[in-house]
Structure 1
Amino acid sequence: MRSFIMRVLINGLALWVASWILPGMDITTSATTNAVTKAGFAQGSDVLGLILAYLFIGLIFGVVNAFVRPLVSFLSLPITILTLGLFTIVINAAMLYLTAWVSSYTPVHLIIDSFFWTAILAAIIISVISVVASKISGANRR
């Protein structure tokens, strides 16, 4: 249970960093549309809503990675071997895009402008941050 919560927190952090770096990726909800004041700072309760929105999208991303990604990785094993593992970046981008599609049916939406560039770059950023944060926090220890 502790490792699941750590994974959700790490996913939320990685999604936040990716949406901060990439202009084509954003997480929106009705609670965060007016979250930023004219000075550019968020109000106290709006910050909590924004944090919960990122954690919710991190939860969806974790569920998609836990259930869909193993099947897709297995089915695409020949092309992954042929490309010496580089196809996993495309798989990660597809899982991110699937998360955006699933989140479109919830009050919190992950918005990705274009599949190819934004999703690929976001997948790389999220993968790097997830690996580093997992090593620091020890979430993968058994």
Structure 2
Amino acid sequence: MGSFLLRAALTGLALWIVTRLVPGIDFVGGDSTPARIGVIFVVAVIFGVVNAVVKPVVQLISIPLYILTLGLIHIVINAFMLWITSWITDHTTHWGLSIDDFWWTAIWAAIVLSIVSWLLSLIVKAD
């Protein structure tokens, strides 16, 4: 349970950093700071569930594209996972993650999220 909470918190931190660095992606909802932190945490959990359930299926189906693009399709798949998370939170709760445009906003967000998550994992492993 502790590792799940740590992973969700790190994912939430990474998503928050992405919203600060990439224009067009932001969190919606949460009027106060504790409510905003709650929104970020719930979005991180939803993003984790999407990555655990949907991403393996999409990766399996897109094996030929991985070969054809030499793995670059992975960036598009990560952007698609962000977009699915945004869609889920928008259509079920009307708060959560908001992405203006899939093609460039979600692609840049996926790239930045990968880098930030990698850096955070280095910091956590060092402790």
TM-score (structure 1 length as normaliser): 0.82
Greater share of helix: 2
Structure 1 Cα separation of the partners of residues 63 and 116 of structure 2: 24
C-alpha offsets along residues 24-54 of structure 1, whole Å, 9 cap, x if unaligned?
Answer: 011111x32xxxxxxxxxxxxx111111111
CA RMSD in angstroms, aligned pairs only: 1.5
> Structure 1 segments of 4 or more deviating over 6 A?
none
Structure 2 Cα separation of the partners of residues 22 and 135 of structure 1: 22
Q: Which residue of 1 aligns with 2:113?
A: 126
Tell me, yes or no, if structure 1 residue 102 matches structure 2 residue 85. Answer: no
Higher Rg: 1
Q: Which runs of 5+ in 2 are unaligned?
A: none
Q: Once the 2 structures are TM-superposed, how far is the Cα of residue 64 of structure 1 from its aligned partner? A: 0.3
Q: Which residue of 2 aligns with 1:42?
A: none
Structure 1 Cα separation of the partners of residues 116 and 6 of structure 2: 13
Q: Which amino acid aligns with 1:87?
A: I
SS of the counterpart of 2:14?
Answer: helix
Q: Which runs of 5+ in 1 are unaligned?
A: 33-45
C-alpha offsets along residues 70-97 of structure 1, whole Å, 9 cap, x if unaligned?
Answer: 1111110110121111100000000000
Q: Which amino acid aligns with 2:64?
A: P
Q: Once the 2 structures are TM-superposed, how far is the Cα of residue 56 of structure 1 from its aligned partner? A: 1.0
Structure 2 Cα separation of the partners of residues 66 and 102 of structure 1: 15
SS of the counterpart of 1:67?
Answer: helix
Tell me, yes or no, if structure 1 residue 116 matches structure 2 residue 116. Answer: no
Q: Which residue of 2 aligns with 1:35?
A: none
Aligned length: 125
Judge conservation of contact 1:64–1:95 (CA < 8 Å) in 2: yes
SS of the counterpart of 1:68?
Answer: helix
Structure 1 Cα separation of the partners of residues 101 and 74 of structure 2: 18
Q: Once the 2 structures are TM-superposed, how far is the Cα of residue 55 of structure 1 from its aligned partner? A: 0.9
